Amino acid sequence: NPAKIKYHPINDACWSKGQEVPYLALATTLEEIEATSARLKMIEILSNYLRSVILLTPEDLLPSIYLCLNQLAPAYHSLELGMAETYIMKAVGQCTGRTLAQMKSAAKATGDLGLVAEQARATQRTMFTPAPLTLRKVFAALKEVAQATGHASVNKKIGKIQSLYVACRHSEARYLIRSLEGKLRIGLAEQSVLQALACACAASPPAGPSAGAVDVSAEMSPEKYKARVEEFALTIKTTYCECPNYDALVPVVLQYGVERLPEHCRLSPGVPLKPMLAHPSRGVADLFARFDGENFTCEWKYDGERAQIHVPGNGAPDVGRASIFSRNQENNTSKYPDVIGRLPKLLKASVHSCVLDCEAVAYDKQSGQILPFQILSTRKRKDARESEIKVQVCVFVFDLLYLNGEPLVRRPLDARRALLRDHFNEVEGEWQFARGRDCSSTEEVELELSEALRGSCEGLMVKALEGERARYDIARRSHNWLKLKKDYLEGCGDSIDAVVIGGFHGRGKRVGLYGGFLLACYDPETDAYQSLCKIGTGFSDEDLRTLSATLQSHAIDAPRNYYRYESSLAPDVWFAAASVWEVRCADLSLSPAHHAALGLVDREKGISLRFPRFVRVRDDKTPEQATSSRQIADLYLAQDQVKNTMKRPSHAD
Ligand code: ATP
């Protein structure tokens, strides 16, 4: 914590003002971050680097941030890295005179292709020294690699990788290769990057119109700096929630300063925001304890796919430019041409732009029946032709986040709901408002829950109606939305979304397929996958055939060095963390064999699922969005049995 924070150029930056940032500057920063496990230290290291970039080469701030996050564009552009390992191995092997088999065995020994590539590059002799890589060049090349499609593109990609690889110095090769693999593995979460940006901006001379108005040689007291960091971090993080797009955010920071972000980057149709999420509850009594005298509503929890519908417009809605985004901000517009086609029926004449939060549910119009999620998942996922669509959907609208130029997220739910009902039409079997009732007694909640279950829903979403608590908490898993699923009647309060990291060869009827799997939860603190349970039930024969085929493409030679498991649980085949499955279980128990949530509840034991069974594949979740270690610990602790044990004094007391 420096005694005084000065506005001054960073002396130890390895490039000078106006010069393109060398890729080595970023690689060295990532290397330092990788070497520490303390989050605050990581933020400090990154903010120093970003500060140098802001002062010396501000044009490189945007690619710097993207590369730290291993992203190339906003998530909704679906431009992703994550090349097949074999191609990367081929590229590196060809440059360094190693066969594919040699590359494979080296990768198996270290569990990290990035390190293998770095070591191979260090011992490689070249006839001439290529020009040092710049950050901009690497970013542009990675974009080209990600954009290239089709069969013929493979050689082009390999060529591109090789031209970068031969120019790599020191740790550059490690991070280049890891970027291509789709995972940096340095434990840097997005929130830390945003915090580092806030620290860097707070220690930089003011941007925009006030630039020059401040004596840049002046010093700032640590107290003033701390207050400025807090204010900037709050502004950057809230703005990013409403407008998760660095392409929009970073230029504003540089041109006008952090203070003016909210007026330039607001929630707007076309840019998907991260949705509000709910906490599980443990039954009706739990709801009343949480809402303690406040009014709440119990909406039916439909079992389909989240659909955030954006209609831009100025004076009149521009339905032709409407988009539908998934829970993950992926663009699902081409999956739902039928829904887009029906938009005019939903919008009353008073609507010229809006953002709606909805659930798209498979629906049988003739019988007026909601169909199970499994039916919805058979719909084509992209470029569906309306005439070929077999599974019809009804969209259940449950929230209105933006209307006619105004973000509504800070207004309470009762006001948003009133606007929704005033400005939008219901159309039987096509557009319906989420059913529900404002409840004030246990009997009312229980009645609504049983009606929701009879209506083929998963349970209830219980939401605060009035006041501060009833705002739409963008990107947050909030206690102001509680889910009451039928799972709570059966055992554990919620289903769990786990990552498949290994497979066991099947026997008997399952020979030739995988018969069981090793599942893990994700720990964002350490960026690791911790084993959670073995699973072998809940699969139909057909499920096992399709899942085995999909998983085959994720098979890797050795476990990743960020997998945490006991060797006695090692599966026959390891998988790269890619598939997320929803599973249910009877309950959660402490386990000496599994590593999930290790240290959170018990110093030496992890938590494991008892009697887990497969429910479905969660295509709409990335592995990092799987149930986290903290959530596993919370679910474990919320179990009545555990609560009772913890209340009882132990013998030692
Ligand atoms: P999580 O990350 O919370 O586990 P999830 O995607 O696994 O999220 P659930 O926990 O089952 O989903 O519940 C939240 C989801 O329920 C929302 O993302 C939304 O898709 C769906 N949903 C259905 N009906 C409603 C409703 N009335 N209000 C809010 N969400 C609803």
Q: Give yes or no for a contact between 132 and 167, defined as CB atoms under 8 angstroms apart.
A: yes
Nearest to 302 by CA among 428, 435, 413, 418: 435
Report the nearest atom of ligand 1 relative to the CA of 620.
6
Task: Please report which helix (H) or strand (E) contains residue 277, including its range.
Answer: strand 277-280
Q: Tell me how far the alpha carbon of residue 178 is from its chain's centroid.
A: 19
Of 625, 502, 608, give the one whose Cα is nearest residue 563.
502
* Assigned token pair, 252: 């504003």
Q: How far is CA 423 from the centre of its chain?
A: 32
Q: Please state the atom number of ligand 1 nearest to the C-alpha of residue 303.
A: 23
Strands (E), 365-418: 369-370, 393-403, 406-407
Distance CA 460, CA 436 (A): 8
646 or 520: which leads in pLDDT: 520
Q: Is 381 exposed, middle or buried (0-12, 13-18, 19+ CB in 10 A)?
A: exposed
Cβ of 398 less than 6 Å from ligand 1? yes
Please check whether residue 181 is in contact with residue 114, taking contact to mean a CB–CB distance below 8 angstroms: yes
Instruction: Indicate which residue's Cα is closest to atom 24 of ligand 1.
Output: 301
The residue whose C-alpha atom lies closest to atom 17 belonging to ligand 1 is 306
DSSP 510: G
CA distance 226 to 231: 9
Which residue has its alpha carbon closest to ligand 1 atom 26? 301
Task: Report pLDDT for 651.
Answer: 38
Q: How many angstroms separate the alpha carbon of residue 216 from the centre of ligand 1?
A: 49
Ligand 1 centroid vs 484 CA: distance in angstroms? Answer: 11
| Beta bridge partner(s), residue 6 | 219
**277 touches ligand 1 (CB under 6 Å):** yes
**126 pLDDT higher than 80:** no
Point out the ligand 1 atom lying closest to the alpha carbon of residue 494: 10
The question of whether 486 is a catalytic residue gets the answer no
CA dist., res. 533 & res. 69, Å (int): 30
Cβ–ligand 1 contact at 595 (below 6 Å): no
Q: Whose CA is nearest to atom 31 of ligand 1?
A: 301
Strand partners, 516: 504
Task: Evaluate: CB of 148 within 6 angstroms of ligand 1.
Answer: no
So what's the pLDDT on residue 15? 87
CB 302 near ligand 1, within 6 Å: yes
Q: How far is CA 226 from CA 2, 203, 219, 314, in A?
A: 11, 10, 13, 41
Best residue among 398, 413, 474, 488 to mutate for probing ligand 1, ranked by most atoms within 8 Å of CB? 398
How far is the centre of ligand 1, averaged over its atoms, from the C-alpha of 324 (Å)?
16
**DSSP designation for 362:** E
Ligand 1 nearest atom to the CA of residue 275, by list position = 18
Q: What is the pLDDT of residue 160?
A: 93
Tell how far the Cα of 156 is from the centroid of ligand 1, in angstroms: 41
Tell me, using a 6 A CB cutoff, whether residue 581 lines ligand 1. Answer: no
296 backbone dihedrals φ, ψ, rounded to 5° = -140, 160
How confident is the model at residue 567, as a pLDDT?
93
Q: What is the mean pLDDT of residues 210-230?
A: 74
- Segment 434-441 shows an average pLDDT of 94
For 132-191, write each residue's pLDDT tens digit.
Answer: 999 999 999 999 999 988 778 888 999 999 999 999 999 999 999 999 998 888 888 899
Quote the CA–CA distance of 529 and 575 in Å, as a whole number: 12
How far is ligand 1, taken at its centre, from the CA of residue 493, in Å?
14
Query: Is 306 close to ligand 1, i.e. is its CB under 6 Å away?
Result: yes
Structure confidence at residue 80 (pLDDT): 80
429 C-beta neighbours (distance < 10 Å), count: 14
Q: What angle do CA 474, 616, 334 make, to 5 degrees?
A: 60
Q: How far is the CA of 618 from the centre of ligand 1 (A)?
A: 12
Res. 535 pLDDT band, cuts 50 70 90: very high
CB of 327 closer than 6 angstroms to any ligand 1 atom: yes
How many angstroms separate the CA atoms of 97 and 79, rounded?
Answer: 31
Q: At what angle do helices 61-69 and 190-202 cross, to 10 degrees?
A: 150
* pLDDT higher than threshold 90 for residue 604: yes
Query: What is the CA(278)–ligand 1 centre distance, in A?
Result: 7
CA nearest neighbour of 114 among 88, 133, 94, 132: 88
Mean pLDDT of 318-333: 94
Mean pLDDT, residues 265-290 taken together: 91
**Which atom of ligand 1 is least distant from the CA of 299?**
27
Give me the percent of the chain exceeding a pLDDT of 90: 67
* Residue bearing the bigger pLDDT, 35 or 218: 35
Residue 436 Cα to ligand 1 midpoint, Å, equals: 15
pLDDT (average), residues 566-594: 93
Do residues 338 and 431 lie in contact, with contact meaning Cβ atoms separated by under 8 Å? no
**Tokens 């903010």 sit at which residue?**
47
What is the mean predicted confidence (pLDDT) over 273-282?
91
**Residue 165 to residue 172: CA distance in whole angstroms:** 8
Nearest CA to ligand 1 atom 25: 301
> What is the structure's pLDDT at 595?
97
Ligand 1 centre to CA of 302 (Å) is 8
503 phi/psi in degrees, rounded to 5: -135, 145
Q: What is the mean pLDDT of residues 202-213?
A: 71
Which token pair is 76? Answer: 């909704």
Distance 406 CA to ligand 1 centre (A): 25
Is the beta carbon of 301 within 6 A of some atom in ligand 1?
Answer: yes
Atom of ligand 1 nearest to the CA of 327: 18
Three-state DSSP state, 51? helix
Average per-residue pLDDT in the chain? 90
Ligand 1 atom closest to the CA of 485, numbered from 1: 11
Arithmetic mean of pLDDT, 28-54: 91
Residues 227 and 366: their CA atoms lie apart, in Å, by 61
Residue 483 CB less than 6 A away from ligand 1 = yes
pTM of the entire predicted model: 0.79
- CA-CA distances (angstroms) from residue 512 to 45, 61, 509, 545, 572? 49, 51, 9, 9, 13
Q: Is 575 a pocket residue for ligand 1 (Cβ < 6 Å)?
A: no
CA gap 624, 580 in Å, rounded: 9
Catalytic option among 137, 301, 463, 621: 301
Atom 20 of ligand 1, residue of closest alpha carbon = 306
399 pocket-lining for ligand 1 (C-beta < 6 Å): no
Query: Of all atoms in ligand 1, which is nearest to the CA of residue 625?
Result: 2
Report the pLDDT value the prediction gives residue 7, as an integer from 0 to 100.
55
Mutation to probe ligand 1, out of 277, 621, 627 (largest number of atoms < 8 A from CB): 277
* Shortest-distance atom of ligand 1 to CA 582: 7
How remote is the CA of residue 343 from the centroid of ligand 1, in Å?
A: 23
Distance 621 CA to ligand 1 centre (A): 12
Position 93 pLDDT exceeds 50: yes
Query: Helices 85-96 and 113-122 sit at what angle, rounded to 10 degrees?
Result: 10
Task: Return d(Cα 162, Cα 96) in angstroms, integer.
Answer: 10
652 pLDDT band, cuts 50/70/90, is very low
CA-nearest residue, atom 16 of ligand 1: 301
Confidence label for 252 from pLDDT (cuts 50, 70 and 90): very high
Distance from C-alpha of 244 to C-alpha of 329, rounded to nearest angstrom:
9
Residue 434 Cβ inside 6 Å of ligand 1? The answer reads yes
- The finding on whether 138 has its CB within 6 A of some atom of ligand 1 is no
